Amino acid sequence: MKRYLITGASRGIGRAIAEKLAAPDVTLLLHGRDTVALAETCKSVKSRCARVISLIHDLALGKGVSDLITEVGDEPLDLLVNNAGVAVVKPFGEITQVEWEQTLGVNVTAPFLLMQRFAPDMPPGSSIVNVLSIAAKTGFAGWSAYCMSKFALEGFSQSVRAELRDHKIRVINIYPAATDTNIWKAVEGDWPRDQMISPEDVATAVAFALAQRSEVLVENITLGNLGGDL
């Protein structure tokens, strides 16, 4: 039996990844904060996987991360997907320290702590997937806190990838362009959600990378929008 932990699986890209990776030989450990939304994800994958475990924790808080780690337990993971993320979008002069720290907590510190705890026990052939963004490569006006967090995770995960090569653990980074999820609800402006790529497109890319022979490391997948940046 394989064990897959996916953070931020209550909606959006995380939910689509859970739905894509559900399989009879897999226990899905699905994390979120919103109990109702996470229950919906669990319901949609339940009949297609061996077992589903729902984990409700706030990853902006150190205690939330440590409680998640405790609940996941000591049995090794075959896959860790660092997907949970927040986007504070405003001019840098208006970002509060609390918003800055929440962004760092969810987008950087939580993936760091989860990789640090779980990678040492992961068997050869297992994988870590980090959901980054095109904002891990380019700074966009109004997105400074978000870009800061994704650039930080980019640097961290590149180094972790190099450290884990000898352990035969693959670190796969995914860089989606604007994707039609609820993350955009809190972003001011008129965003053409119908022109964005879909969460399923991102999940398909994750599944592609994972489906390769364990000796093959698909290091990075950038999913652009053919119509250009929105």
32 binds ligand NAP (CB under 6 A): yes
DSSP string, 16-31: HHHHHH--TTEEEEEE
Of residues 90 through 129, those in contact with ligand NAP by CB under 6 A are 106
145 binds ligand NAP (CB under 6 A): no
DSSP classification of residue 83: -
Among the residue ranges 84-92, 120-128, 137-145, 213-221, the one whose residues contact ligand NAP (CB under 6 A): 84-92
Nearer to ligand NAP, 106 or 152 (CB): 106
Distance CA 120, CA 77 (A): 10
Smallest separation, CB 178 to ligand NAP (Å) = 4
205 binds ligand NAP (CB under 6 A): no
Burial 61-73 (b: 16+ CB within 10 A, else e): eeebbeebbeebe
58 binds ligand NAP (CB under 6 A): yes
66 binds ligand NAP (CB under 6 A): no
137 binds ligand NAP (CB under 6 A): no
The residue whose two tokens read 């209550």 is 10
83 binds ligand NAP (CB under 6 A): yes
Smallest separation, CB 168 to ligand NAP (Å) = 26
Beta bridge partners of 80: 5, 128
Distance CA 130, CA 39 (A): 23
Structure token pair of residue 15:
């939910």
Nearer to ligand NAP, 95 or 168 (CB): 95
41 binds ligand NAP (CB under 6 A): no
Give yes or no for a contact between 75 and 26, defined as CB atoms under 8 angstroms apart: no
Of residues 148 through 187, those in contact with ligand NAP by CB under 6 A are 176, 178-179, 181-183
Nearer to ligand NAP, 33 or 48 (CB): 33
Nearer to ligand NAP, 124 or 139 (CB): 139
Q: Which of 69, 87, 72, 84 is nearest to 33 (CA)?
A: 84
Distance CA 178, CA 196 (A): 6
Query: How many residues at the interface with ligand NAP, by CB under 6 A?
Result: 26
Q: Which of 78, 89, 224 is nearest to 143 (CA)?
A: 89
Give the chain's end-to-end CA distance (angstroms, integer): 41
The residues binding ligand NAP (CB under 6 A) are 8, 10-14, 32-34, 37, 58-60, 83-86, 106, 131, 133, 176, 178-179, 181-183
